[in-house]
């Protein structure tokens, strides 16, 4: 059985899966699992928990497939919403600090020197620590807007709030991040960029 | 450029670094997700097999399906027709319950039946 290809919409792939097409599950996994995992990792700051959340969110997607109404919403929007809800459940349970992303594997970039790579890792780690200090809703909005690259209306739909509320959350979140990172300017070398 | 603009530009450096650091799905996660999909899909076919037919369907099957139901409907229709318009060789059923043009009340009918019995 061959892959169904990139031109097919998420909607269509989900319907194909509901009709028994296992290749559609592989394609959807390839498209959506990195997004669910990425958001969960940024929101939770814990790799093992992010894996569990991504897997559970995808299981819920599979179970929901027969009832999916094409055109009513984007599959990715639905998945982001489920992922954030699962993250929220975990955070409610633990209510502790966020772990650092020390165990996140560093993708090799042949064009990047070792020193540059270390600098990127340090910046990403610093950002994750600062994100961990934000209130949950601000962190979710900042992650979806600036790390996942979603539009404000799409974030509004995922978080079930108005577009204006999204703008307010991201603005306040960025101000807080900026304050948190300002003291590390020399350490992280971003005044040179 | 205001201080706020400068702060936002500096934040972009961090966002860019963070986007570089997280994209890869861990080894084995995609395989587990696809295996879950397969399990969910198989559970649907098992559920469909276990689904019992409804009571009407069971009755329909018990009677013998559509040929039997056709015969049953025809027999019912014939019975209703004979009730309304009996052949001349059969007695009028109304005579059993009417005396001198009036219907027997329940007690009279019971008395008549007791006398005959």
Residue extents of the structural domains in chain A: 1-100, 104-193
Write down the CATH number for the domain with range A104-193.
Answer: 1.10.10.10
Of A124, A176, A182, A193, which to mutate for an interface test with B (greatest number of B Cβ within 10 Å)? A124
Q: Give A3-41 pLDDT, tens digit per residue.
A: 555 578 999 999 999 998 989 999 999 999 999 999 999
CA neighbor of A46 nearest in space, from A5, A87, A2: A87
Q: What architecture (CATH level 2) is domain A1-100?
A: Orthogonal Bundle (1.10)
Distance CA A176, CA A170 (A): 10
Of residues A9 and A117, the one with the higher pLDDT is A9
A50 has a pLDDT exceeding 70 = yes
- With CB atoms and an 8 Å threshold, state whether A25 touches B19: no
- DSSP one-letter string for A28-57: HHHHHHHHHHHHHHHHH--HHHHHHHHHHH
Contact between chains at A55 and B32 (C-beta distance less than 8 A): yes
Closest Cβ–Cβ partner in B10, B24, B34 for A29: B34
More confident residue, A94 or A86: A86
ipTM of the complex: 0.78
> For A135-176, what is each residue's pLDDT tens digit?
999 999 999 999 999 999 999 999 999 999 999 999 999 999
Tokens for A38? 């990425």
Helix pair A47-64, A75-94: axis angle to 10 deg: 130
Number of Cα atoms under 13 Å in the Cβ half of residue A61: 36
pTM greater than 0.80: no
Cα pseudo-dihedral B38, B40, B43, B44, rounded to 10: -100
């Amino acid at each position: 059985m061959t892959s169904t290809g990139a031109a097919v919409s998420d909607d269509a792939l989900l319907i194909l899966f509901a009709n028994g097409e296992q290749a559609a599950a592989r394609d959807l996994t390839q498209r959506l699992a990195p997004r669910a995992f990425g958001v969960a990792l940024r929101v939770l700051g814990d790799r093992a928990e992010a894996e569990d959340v991504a897997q559970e969110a995808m299981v819920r997607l599979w179970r929901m497939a027969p009832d999916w109404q094409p055109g009513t919403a984007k599959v990715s929007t639905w998945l982001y919403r489920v992922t954030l809800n699962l993250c929220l459940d975990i955070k409610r349970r633990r209510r502790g600090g966020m772990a650092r992303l020390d165990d996140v594997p560093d993708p090799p970039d042949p064009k990047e020197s070792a020193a540059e790579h270390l600098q990127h890792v340090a910046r990403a780690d610093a950002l994750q620590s600062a994100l961990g200090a934000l209130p949950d809703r601000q962190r979710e909005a900042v992650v979806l807007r600036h790390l996942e690259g979603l539009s404000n209306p799409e974030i509004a739909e995922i978080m079930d709030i108005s577009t204006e509320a999204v703008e307010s959350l991201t603005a306040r979140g960025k101000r807080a991040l900026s304050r948190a990172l300002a003291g590390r300017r020399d350490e992280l070398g971003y005044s040179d960029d | 450029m205001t201080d706020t603009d400068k702060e936002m530009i500096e934040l972009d450096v961090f966002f860019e670094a963070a986007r570089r650091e997280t994209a890869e799905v861990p080894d084995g996660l995609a395989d587990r997700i696809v295996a879950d999909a397969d399990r969910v899909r198989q559970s649907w076919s098992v559920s469909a097999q276990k689904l019992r037919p409804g009571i009407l369907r069971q009755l329909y099957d018990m009677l013998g399906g559509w040929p039997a139901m056709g015969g049953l409907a025809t027999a019912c229709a014939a019975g209703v027709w004979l009730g309304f318009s009996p052949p001349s060789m059969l007695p009028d059923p109304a005579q059993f319950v009417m005396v001198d043009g009036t219907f027997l009340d329940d007690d009279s009918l019971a008395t008549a039946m007791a006398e005959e019995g």
